[in-house]
A = this chain, B = another copy of it.
Amino acid sequence: MPPPSALDVEAATDTQAATFIDRLSLNGVPARRSKSPAVSTGLATYASSDMFKSPGHGKPKAKRWDHILTQESNSRELSSLKAASQLLKTPGLISLGAGLPSSTFFPFEHLQVKVPKPPQFSEPETKDFGLLVQAGKHDAAEGKSLYDIHIAFNYGQATGSAQLLRFVTEHTEIVHHPPYQDWQCTLNVGSIAAFEMALRTFCTRGDYIMTEEYSFCTALETASPLGLKCLGIKMDEEGLLPFHMDDLLTNWSVSERGAQKPFLLYTVPTGQNPTGATQSAQRRRELYAVAQKHDLYILEDEPYYFLQMQPYTGPDAPDIPPPSSHDAFLDALVPSLLSMDIDGRVMRMDSFSKVIAPGMRTGWITASAQIVERIVRHAEVSTQMPSGVSQLVLFKLLDETWGHPGYLDWLIWMRLEYTRKRDNIAIACERFLPREVASWVAPEAGMFHWIKVDWRKHPLIRRGEAVQLLELEEKIWRAGIESGVLTAKGSWFRAEGGAGEEMFFRATFAAAGEKDVTQAVERFGKGLRVEFGLLDRNGEVNGQANGHQ
**Known contacts A224-B75, A227-B71: A109-B125 contact under CB 8 Å:** yes
**Mask of A400-443 contacts with B, CB within 8 angstroms, 1/0:** 00000000001000100100000000000000000000000000
Q: Quick check: which of A281-289, A325-333, A483-491, A535-543 contacts chain B, the rest being far away?
A: A483-491
Determine whether the beta carbon of A96 is less than 8 Å from that of B189: no
Determine whether the beta carbon of B96 is less than 8 Å from that of A485: yes
User: What residues on B are CB-neighbors of A469 within 8 Å?
Assistant: none
**Mask of A339-382 contacts with B, CB within 8 angstroms, 1/0:** 00000000000000111111111100000000000000010111
User: What residues on B are CB-neighbors of A355 within 8 Å?
Assistant: 105
Determine whether the beta carbon of A387 is less than 8 Å from that of B387: yes
A212 vs chain B, min Cβ distance (A): 16
Q: Which of A94, A154, A385, A390 neighbours the largest number of chain B CB atoms within 10 Å of its CB?
A: A94
A sample of 24 inter-chain contacts (CB < 8 A) reads: A73-B225, A75-B224, A75-B227, A77-B221, A81-B217, A84-B486, A94-B486, A94-B519, A95-B508, A96-B487, A96-B524, A98-B508, A99-B448, A99-B511, A107-B356, A108-B114, A112-B112, A112-B113, A153-B357, A155-B358, A155-B359, A189-B189, A189-B361, A389-B393
Task: From the candidates B115, B192, B492, B516, name the one contacting A109 in the complex (CB within 8 A).
Answer: B115
Determine whether the beta carbon of B84 is less than 8 Å from that of A225: no
Determine whether the beta carbon of A94 is less than 8 Å from that of B508: no
What separation, in Å, do the CA atoms of A527 and B172 have in the docked complex?
48
Let me know if A106 is at the binding interface, CB within 8 A.
yes
User: What residues on B are CB-neighbors of A113 within 8 Å?
Assistant: 108-112
Determine whether the beta carbon of A87 is less than 8 Å from that of B486: yes
Can you list the 8 inter-chain pairs with the closest CB atoms, starting with the nearest?
A359-B388, A387-B387, A153-B359, A153-B357, A96-B507, A94-B520, A222-B381, A109-B114
A215 vs chain B, min Cβ distance (A): 13
Place the interface of chain A in its size category: 35 or more
Q: Which of A102, A360, A382 neighbours the largest number of chain B CB atoms within 10 Å of its CB?
A: A382
Let me know if A130 is at the binding interface, CB within 8 A.
yes
**Mask of A269-292 contacts with B, CB within 8 angstroms, 1/0:** 000010000000000000000000
A141 vs chain B, min Cβ distance (A): 12
Determine whether the beta carbon of A486 is less than 8 Å from that of B96: yes
Q: Which of A100, A107, A115, A226 neighbours the largest number of chain B CB atoms within 10 Å of its CB?
A: A107
User: What residues on B are CB-neighbors of A393 within 8 Å?
Assistant: 108, 111, 389
User: What residues on B are CB-neighbors of A95 within 8 Å?
Assistant: 485-486, 508, 511-512
Determine whether the beta carbon of B512 is less than 8 Å from that of A76: no
Let me know if A229 is at the binding interface, CB within 8 A.
no
What separation, in Å, do the CA atoms of A393 and B221 have in the docked complex?
31
Specify how many copies of this chain sit in the oligomer: 2
**Mask of A186-221 contacts with B, CB within 8 angstroms, 1/0:** 000110110010000000000000000000011001
Chain B's closest residue to A96 (CB) is B507
What separation, in Å, do the CA atoms of A222 and B200 have in the docked complex?
13
In A51-87, the 8 Å CB interface with B consists of 71-73, 75-77, 79-81, 84, 87
**Known contacts A107-B124, A113-B111, A153-B360: A383-B381 contact under CB 8 Å:** no
Determine whether the beta carbon of A360 is less than 8 Å from that of B389: yes
A537 vs chain B, min Cβ distance (A): 25
What separation, in Å, do the CA atoms of A410 and B107 have in the docked complex?
9
A77 vs chain B, min Cβ distance (A): 7
A167 vs chain B, min Cβ distance (A): 15
User: What residues on B are CB-neighbors of A75 within 8 Å?
Assistant: 224-225, 227
Chain B's closest residue to A505 (CB) is B96
Let me know if A299 is at the binding interface, CB within 8 A.
no
User: What residues on B are CB-neighbors of A526 within 8 Å?
Assistant: none
Determine whether the beta carbon of B72 is less than 8 Å from that of A225: yes
User: What residues on B are CB-neighbors of A155 within 8 Å?
Assistant: 353, 358-359
User: What residues on B are CB-neighbors of A116 within 8 Å?
Assistant: 107, 109
User: What residues on B are CB-neighbors of A192 within 8 Å?
Assistant: 381-384
User: What residues on B are CB-neighbors of A487 within 8 Å?
Assistant: 96-97
Q: Which of A224, A273, A358 neighbours the largest number of chain B CB atoms within 10 Å of its CB?
A: A358
Chain B's closest residue to A223 (CB) is B381
Given A79-B217, A189-B189, A389-B393, 12 more A-B residue pairs with CB atoms under 8 Å apart are: A102-B510, A103-B357, A107-B357, A110-B114, A111-B112, A112-B112, A154-B357, A154-B358, A193-B383, A359-B391, A387-B387, A387-B390
